[in-house]
Structure 1
Amino acid sequence: MRRFFYTLVLAATLPMFAHAQAQISFGGLKHDSSLPVEITADALSVDQADGSATFTGNVLIGQGEMRLAAGKVRVEYASGPDATGEISRLHATNGVTLVNGAEAAEAREAVYTIKSGTVIMSGGVILTQGQNALSSDTLTVNLTTGTGQMDGRVKTIIQTGRN
């Protein structure tokens, strides 16, 4: 918790440049990307030509304790001679919310690369960790290590415990 607080203080005191950066600890977003992925949606369209599937309308994706909600998600499957039909990448658009434990992030779009366990969220990113909130243009989270980085006009609100 102390490391998280110092990280937030550092982020809050960064100079206000257009391309600010902040390293963030995402202990609650640490995740096992080898778990199965479950997807529900209002509609599904499959493109055999490029090996993708597009889910639309109230899309909810679950993998272990992690949940991702969006208006539209394109699922890309691994290709090549060794491909076994595994999902390689998810591209979520139309308002994305990523939740794992007490941490949640919102953005206009997100790309989740399963093999690397990396999620890149962009467009009006808002991250909440308990009562604290951070915002930026882009959030990159490594779900394997539980670390992340926020880039572009980083802003933070730290609750001090006072009323």
Structure 2
Amino acid sequence: MSLLPHINEQGRAKMVDVSDKAVTRRRATARARIRMKAETLQQIREGRVQKGDVLAVAQVAGIMAAKKTSELIPMCHPIPLRGANLRFREEGEEVLVIEAEVKTDNVTGVEMEALTAVSIAALTVYDMCKSIDKDMTVMDTCLVEKTGGKSGDYIRKEEG
């Protein structure tokens, strides 16, 4: 049994042909969480992290990552984005939540761009805070919702 069941008959991976798909307005929202020490989150909140404004840098990193997704993920189509934004909020005293919303008018969706945005933003937070908290954990990265396209809308059912 092959470990690579999605390889085409020539034994090479291929990009999905989207040339016959209709252009539609598409939007995707993704989320990641970072568990950290309460003191670390407090330093982020108060702007006392030595490397600078953690959330501002992470926001820019996430937007840049969304724009570069097709360069990072081999079978991902390059997509011109209409918009990308990241939001941050706290869950309790030890969890930072990152959400990214990405929009386009295109023949393929922006789920991967939103997921890449929150992933890179989370890694940026880790990088900027690792000198004070190496125990941080990036977790629960997921697609929250998407709209548009042939497969229709999707809204994640929250656990709990």
For the criterion TM > 0.5, the same-fold answer is no
Q: Which has the higher strand share?
A: 1
**Bigger Rg, structure 1 or 2:** 2
Q: Give the structure, 1 or 2, with the largest relative contact order (CA under 8 Å, sep 6 or more).
A: 2
Q: Which has the higher helix share?
A: 2
